[in-house]
Structure 1
Amino acid sequence: MGILMAGLSPHPPLIIPEIGGERREGISKTINSLKELAEEVKDCQPDVLITISPHGPVFTDAISILDQEYLAGDFSEFGCSEVKLETSTDRDLIQEIRESSEINNIEVLTLSSAELEIYNYQGLLDHGVLIPLYFIQQAGLDVPLVPITMGLMEYDTLYSFGRIIQQVVDKLGLKAVIIASGDLSHRLKPGAPAGFNPRGEEFDRKIVEILDNENFSKALKIEKGLIDKAGECGLRPLIIMLGALDGLSFKTEVKSYEGTFGVGYAVVGFYPGSDI
């Protein structure tokens, strides 16, 4: 029981064949790595999949979780409405995470249909969830989902929230896999989506080195100026996931890293093994 494995997954929409077409050849390592990671997730046979996305309903002072019995999403935002994914959720786990977070003074919004209407949000799975879920479902695994969206909160708070996830999974006697969905720098090259900054490559090297060497505490101590210049979206989801592994015995495998289109895509697996 507990957290069986974890992973860092990028989420480029062009990785979907109907969207990327021939451009997918430029990120073939990422595609192959995500297929491998998805097979490993399937082999774990978890009871629940927990995703942590930087997209969806993001709040400055709270973490949010979509709280509906069934959820769906597609890629219509990227001109591809025909690729649609559906999943059930583990609402007991969602509520237990919220209640335990409240006890620890961390604000977590569980967004039911009524609350989604208040915040004027449709309640669809965002592409930060859909990309890893696409590969996992393609691998043949379909288990309940807990779709968490990061908050724009202090890194220490996010790490503490991750520890709560671990505690609740253990309390409920579940077998869980956690996927942190996030791209690294969006500023690796001239013409990149967020413009170019030479420190983007430095940020990506630092993250890959931290994960490869399993020096996870250093992720909380990266210079703020470097983070800002990198234009990333993956650090907060990663920190939550690392918090969920706190005190457990895990080792890492950096499966691939590519920055072909000016955005850093790292695929990393976290497996039971060495101390962290």
Structure 2
Amino acid sequence: MHPFVFACIAPHGGEIIPELKGPDPQRMAATRESMEKLGTYMTEAKPDCIIVLTPHGTRINGMFSISDSEKMNGSWKENDGIFEMEKHVERDLARKIAEEANKNGIASSTINYGTSSGPISCLPLDWGAIVPLRFMPDVPVVVITPPRELSFDTHRRFGRSLREAAAQYNKRVGLIASCDWSHTHDENGPYGFDPAAKDLDEQAVHYIKVNKLEKMAEFESGFIEAAKPDGIWQTLILAGAIPPDERHVEFLSYESPTYFGLICAAYFTKVKIQS
């Protein structure tokens, strides 16, 4: 069986969640529709668990941070609404991921909070995980936060280790790269305006469409700093986890209705998935 039954690049803007769309439901309507489709694809793939790569989880400087608590819970507030979520953690897979990464010389650590097990063993679930998981089947998760201090090549290598761990796990695994893109589209946004935002997002869309995710590793640091994306690192992990010759991409949508870009893309493996 292929290590991943389905994978996707999915955004995490709070208004995508239907319960938080507020007084302007059309603002992220295209993305919301695409997320429903990604959720349908993931449900049809029947994963036993889902790995979420998020930029907004608990960070460890210089190390990949991997959830290893009994459960995770969190909430997100927007437009006078609140959405809450609790998930069980697939701890056996989390530990396999850390073990495989460290065996391959990639600095990684599992994390926990409170107690080693039981109901108090609970980590916060961030909006980078909550938003895409809102549309996905209710199965256990492993949440991973990558470190930006490490090289792009290390992120691809971590993806390959992730693939090896998922293959050893021998269950059906889904993979989500939770990514918002450039954050400098609007002068009234928190990061101001920079023309690099449009340029970087257009290049990211192109690389996704032509199945060349690895090309994002060639973005120069000044270009990244000007555009302020938060999706490159998770995308490169996905690229390492699923090689180009095993990826079939369905590009669903791009929009930047506020100050940041939103991309939805589905990845189907070219290897037949066993029932």
| Distance in 2 of aligned mates of 1:61 and 1:80 | 35
Superimposed CA distance per residue, residues 234-255 of structure 1 (whole angstroms, 9 cap, x where no aligned partner): 1111111111112651111110
Match of 1:195 among 186, 192, 197: 192
Alignment match, 1:146: 142
Cα contact 2:71–2:123 (8 A) shared by 1? no
Alignment match, 2:14: 13
Alignment match, 2:33: 32
Superimposed CA distance per residue, residues 55-113 of structure 1 (whole angstroms, 9 cap, x where no aligned partner): 011233011012111221111588644x2111111111111111111111211121111
| Distance in 1 of aligned mates of 2:244 and 2:211 | 13
Map 1:78-227 onto structure 2 (within 5 A).
80-81=81-82, 83-114=83-114, 123-136=123-136, 141-152=137-148, 153-227=150-224
Match of 1:259 among 253, 256, 259: 256
TM-score by length of 1: 0.90
Cα contact 1:161–1:243 (8 A) shared by 2? yes
Alignment match, 1:52: 53
Higher helix share: 1
Cα contact 1:13–1:78 (8 A) shared by 2? no
| Distance in 1 of aligned mates of 2:79 and 2:110 | 27
SS in 2 for 1:99: helix
SS in 2 for 1:113: coil
Mark the runs of 5 or more structure 1 residues left unpaired by the alignment.
117-121
SS in 2 for 1:26: coil
The alpha-carbon deviation at position 216 of structure 1 amounts to: 2.2
| Distance in 1 of aligned mates of 2:244 and 2:264 | 22
Corresponding letter in the other structure for 2:223: L
The alpha-carbon deviation at position 114 of structure 1 amounts to: 4.8
Mark the runs of 5 or more structure 2 residues left unpaired by the alignment.
117-121
Cα contact 1:14–1:23 (8 A) shared by 2? no
Q: What is the aligned length?
A: 264
Corresponding letter in the other structure for 1:154: S
Superimposed CA distance per residue, residues 151-171 of structure 1 (whole angstroms, 9 cap, x where no aligned partner): 112111111001011111111
Cα contact 1:7–1:270 (8 A) shared by 2? yes
The alpha-carbon deviation at position 7 of structure 1 amounts to: 0.5
Percent identical among aligned pairs is 29
| Distance in 1 of aligned mates of 2:261 and 2:270 | 27
Cα contact 2:15–2:78 (8 A) shared by 1? no
| Distance in 2 of aligned mates of 1:233 and 1:270 | 20
